Amino acid sequence: MMSSIGKEFMEKTKFQYLDRPDQSRNLPQPPLEMKYDASRPVKDLPGPENIKMRSFDLRQAIEGRRSIRMYSEEPLTIEELSYLLWITQGVVQVTQGATFRNVPSAGARHALETYLLINNVRDVPEGIYRFLAIENKLVEINMDPDIADRVMQSCLGQDFIRKSAVTFIWVADAYRMKWRYGERGYRYLHLDAGHACQNLYLSAGSLDCGVCAVAAFSDDQLNDLLELDGVNQFVIYIATVGKK
């Protein structure tokens, strides 16, 4: 029975089975960004107009792309972190019903939230943060001293997660996508995560950074660490970043 789950998912999410989504029922759309606890500390990030990075040839970036798991002890700067966030989820424009960003998304739903395990970023204390893309800020989520080790263990003990400068953890806000596309929206969530991760790979080269995408993790453990219910919001993809 278990061996047929993948096939069943692909079959039941075919376009021919698309049910009438909530958007067509005139139900209100979900927020463009997940809510957060406003009592938690928030840190401003440099605006994209203030970030200057060296030019990097696109062909060079594509042909030189590799998954790299070994990082130096050199920290990222907050400008470099802000640049990577801008490239992967940066908001170019906000309208009443959508955000337009630097990565493609089905129907401009942009149903991903970016969480960060910060280990080695200058002037940013270690811990887990969430990127507030519309506000261009970071909000603290979990600052426990052992949080990096717990995230590493949730990723099956892969120690390069603990040694990265920062680990990107993309979280899917399912209803933001399902509101328009119903059950087929689950396919689009995974596609969107791939778009964001590829932008991270290609942009990291201009910072002399390496990236390694990670799909091996304990869903339940990681969702618990990020205070997610695992059903409506859940971790979908991870990638580590660090100086070569």
Q: Could you read off the pLDDT of 81-109 as tens digits, one per residue?
A: 999 999 999 999 999 899 999 999 999 99
- The CATH number of the domain covering residues in 29-243: 3.40.109.10
Residue with the larger pLDDT of the pair 50 and 37: 37
The predicted pLDDT at position 3 comes to 77
Q: Which residues pair with 43 in a beta bridge?
A: 138
- Does residue 50 have a pLDDT over 90? no
Residue with the larger pLDDT of the pair 119 and 52: 119
C-alpha to C-alpha distances, 133 to 84, 87, 159, 209, 228, nearest whole angstrom: 12, 11, 28, 22, 18
Q: What is the mean pLDDT of residues 111-122?
A: 98
The predicted pLDDT at position 49 comes to 84
Per the prediction, the chain carries an average pLDDT of 95
Distance (Å, rounded) from C-alpha 172 to C-alpha 186? 9
Would you kindly state where each structural domain of the chain is located, as residue ranges? 29-243
Residue % of the chain over a pLDDT of 70: 99
Global pTM value: 0.96
The predicted pLDDT at position 1 comes to 53
pLDDT digits (tens, 9 = 90+) for 133-145: 999 999 999 999 9
What residues contact residue 31 under an 8 Å CB cut-off, 6+ apart?
Answer: 176
The predicted pLDDT at position 112 comes to 98
Residue among 211, 231, 215, 212 nearest 223 (CA): 231
C-alpha to C-alpha distances, 235 to 27, 93, 154, 159, nearest whole angstrom: 26, 25, 11, 19
Distance (Å, rounded) from C-alpha 2 to C-alpha 8? 10
